[in-house]
Structure formats: C-alpha cells, structure tokens
Structure 1
Amino acid sequence: MDWLGFALAVLLVEITPGPNMAWLVSLTLADGRRAGLLATAGVAIGLALNAALSSLGLSALLVNFPAIGTWVGVGAGLMMLWLAWRGWQATTDSSSAVVAGRATHRVLWAGVVINLLNVKAALFFLTVVPRFLSGPDPPLREILLLGLISVGVATLVHLSLVLGAGRLRDVLTRPDRVGPVRRVLALGMVVVACWFFYSALG
C-alpha cells in the first residue's frame, strides 16, 4: 500500500481551489475563526462518513443516482445566498456577532451534509483509492487507513486556510472597515453560491 503517494495525491487535490475552500475562507472572514473551525469540523466529519460509506461500497449510490448530489449542491448554493444576504445586512460589530452566534451550529451541519453527499469525493474514493492499495482484494483496514489519510490531509489544508483567514480578519474588521468589508464578503458568498450551482448543475 502506497500511503505516502496517496497522501501526496490528496494534497494536490486539496490545494486546488474548490467550493469547500472558498466557503471556509469566506465564512471565516465574515463570521470569525470559531465559525470557520466549526465548519472545518463539519467538513471533516462529512468526508470521514463519505470515506466509510465508500469502503462499504455504498457511495456507489451517489454515482449511480447523481440527482442526490445535484440537489445537495443546489441546497448548498441556496445556503450561500442566505449567508450572503445575512452578511450584507449585518454591517456593525454587534449585529454580526449576534448573527454569527446563532449560525455556528448551522455551518457545522452544513459542512457534514454537503460532504457526506459529495459525489466528487465518492468518485475519488471509488476511482483513485484502488490504485494505492496492496492488491485487488485488500483488507478493509487498508481502505479505512487511506480514508483517514485523506480526511487528515484535507483537514490540515482547511485548518491552515481558516487560521490564515482568521488572522486577516483581525486586520479587516477595524470599526471603520466593518461595513464595506462585510459587503465585499457578501458578494464573495454570492460567487461561492454560483460555484456550488455550477458544480451541481454543470
């Protein structure tokens, strides 16, 4: 089993810009490090469940019934639009803090659901993972280990993005900059929403 080669393959995939990356950065800049960390945890849980289902062969359902992933992607896009609208309205430190406090549990579950039913992640496990196994009939522990490596690498990349965005947010959220910055980030959320719609419907 080539676990090191697999880890490098996962890293190359994860550093390629995608909806998860854009969502985590935009969310952290808009609502703070805590929201970003909770979203990262949700993404990790969703990817771990996706990997577990893949090891059992259940993720083939997502491949054979792509409509499931399509509706999840559309739902993710609608959620991004809602976050954008909320961010556009919250233009002061106090209002944004209140809204962020209410929304943190939602971003955790959003990360779980979006990545649990992530068709691209399922395809990755079904097509790429077998190339790094020890043989055509590997033990289940090998598949689970590669799943853990995939989730671990992805989570490290996501954490670095969230922590970096958190540092940047400290600079951008000075009182005289809060309103304009939040409106720019709201527009960024609209771009992320369009990205989700394109990924789901394209």
Structure 2
Amino acid sequence: MIPINELLLFSLAALVLAISPGPNMIYLVSRSITQGKKAGVISLLGVICGFLFHIIMVSFGLTAVLFAVPMAYTILKTIGVIYLLYLAFQAIKPNSNGIFETQGNLSIDKPNKLFRTGLLTNVLNPKTAVFYLSFFPQFIKPEYGSIFTQSIQLGFTQIVVSFSVNLMVVLTASKISVFFSNNPVWVKVQKRFMAGVLTTLAVKMAFTKVN
C-alpha cells in the first residue's frame, strides 16, 4: 500500500488537475449553467466513468512497461515535469481562460446523451491520459507492493478528488461564474495560485528519484 503522505501529495496533484481548465471542466460548467444542476450531475457521472477507462488502461500498461523498460520511469517523469510547467504557463499567460469563463449556449440534451457526452469528453481528453501516464510512476514503488494494486489505489484516489471537486462545481457553477465575472481580481489570484502550485509540483517531480 502507498503511504498516506504520498497519497496526500498525489491528492494535491489530482486537485490541481481537477480545477485546471480543460475539456471536462468546460463541459461540466457549461452544461450546469445551460441546463441546470441535474444535467451537470449526469454529465459528471459520465466523466467519472471515463476516468475508470483511463485507470484500467494505464494500470495494465504501467505494470508491463515499468518492469520491461527501466528507463521508462525517467522518460515519463520528464514528460510529467514538462506537462506541469506547460499547465502553469497556460494558467498565467495573457488572455488565458479562467475556470468559470465558459459559454453557456449548449442545446438541451436527454440524460443518456448527457452521460455519453461526459464519458466521451473524458475518454478522449489527452490531459487525463498524460496525467496518469506521467504522475503514476512518481508515486509507485516496488517496495509498496503490486504495481497494479498501487495504480488502482492512485486511480480511485484521483476519482474521489475529481468527483468531489466537480460535484461542488456543478452545484455552484452559476453563482461562482457570476462572482468571478464581477470580481476580475480574484480571477488573477486564482490563476497565479494555480501556476505556483503546478510549478512547485514540477520541481518536486524533477528531483524525485526511483528507489
């Protein structure tokens, strides 16, 4: 089992992923504003099932790759560091979108389409795949036990964090969107805070060594 301190650090990384603008967040916020909280929750369930798809694929893949190619750890770590720094830049670059800066002009869809769209939005989301492939190896250690079991543990930790954050977003999307629209200073604060956390995680990952 992965130690609790490692899981807490991973949870922080998962939190940053959950609150950073991307296809999942944009879709959920837009859907919640356009069609209401119920539609947002149904869409969120589809997104969560998309996470399960990524977890299964990555868990089996990492188990094979990390045993067969030791250099894969270094390669994935490098990708992870570059990816974090890229997200940090995206957060503070001029004219970048905030979490709740989205268009509420979607059509009204039935529950099955809401779920399916949420599922496909996440399954086809490259940010999710890159996160799993680059972050999981940093927290998986042979001395903690089965690599597959550790991957599943990390995956479900990420799902719990993502579901909690996105459920809160879905339930409060309209009010928070109005707040940020009326308080542009807080948008800048949110972006700089996110960039700082992402950069800190990148530095930590860069100096992490495999045991």
- TM-score by structure 1 length? 0.58
Give the 3 Å change call, closer, same or farther, for CA 34–138 of structure 1 in structure 2: same
Q: Please give the residue correspondences for 1:23-38 in structure 2 after superposition, counting only pairs within 5 Å.
A: 23-38=27-42
Matches of 2:138 and 2:152 in 1, distance apart? 14
- 1:130 and 2:137 correspond: yes
Matches of 1:134 and 1:106 in 2, distance apart? 40
Question: Which residue does 1:176 correspond to in 2?
Answer: none
Are 2:15 and 2:161, in contact at CA under 8 Å, matched by a contact in 1? Answer: yes
Q: Please give the residue correspondences for 1:38-187 in structure 2 after superposition, counting only pairs within 5 Å.
A: 38-57=42-61, 84=105, 86=107, 100=108, 102-135=109-142, 138-139=145-146, 140-165=148-173
Supply the RMSD in Å over aligned alpha carbons. Answer: 2.7
The one-letter code sitting in structure 2 at the alignment partner of 1:4 is L
Instruction: For residue 106 of structure 1, report the CA deviation from its aligned partner.
Output: 0.5
Alpha-carbon displacement from aligned partner over 1:153-197 (angstroms, at most 9, x marks no partner): 11111100001126679x9xxxxxxxxxxxxxxxxxxxxxxxxxx
Structure 1, unpaired ranges of 5+ = 59-82, 87-99, 172-202
The one-letter code sitting in structure 2 at the alignment partner of 1:163 is L
Structure 2, unpaired ranges of 5+ = 63-103, 179-211
Identity of aligned residues (%): 32
The one-letter code sitting in structure 2 at the alignment partner of 1:42 is G
Question: Which residue does 1:75 correspond to in 2?
Answer: none
Are 1:50 and 1:118, in contact at CA under 8 Å, matched by a contact in 2? Answer: no
Are 1:29 and 1:168, in contact at CA under 8 Å, matched by a contact in 2? Answer: no
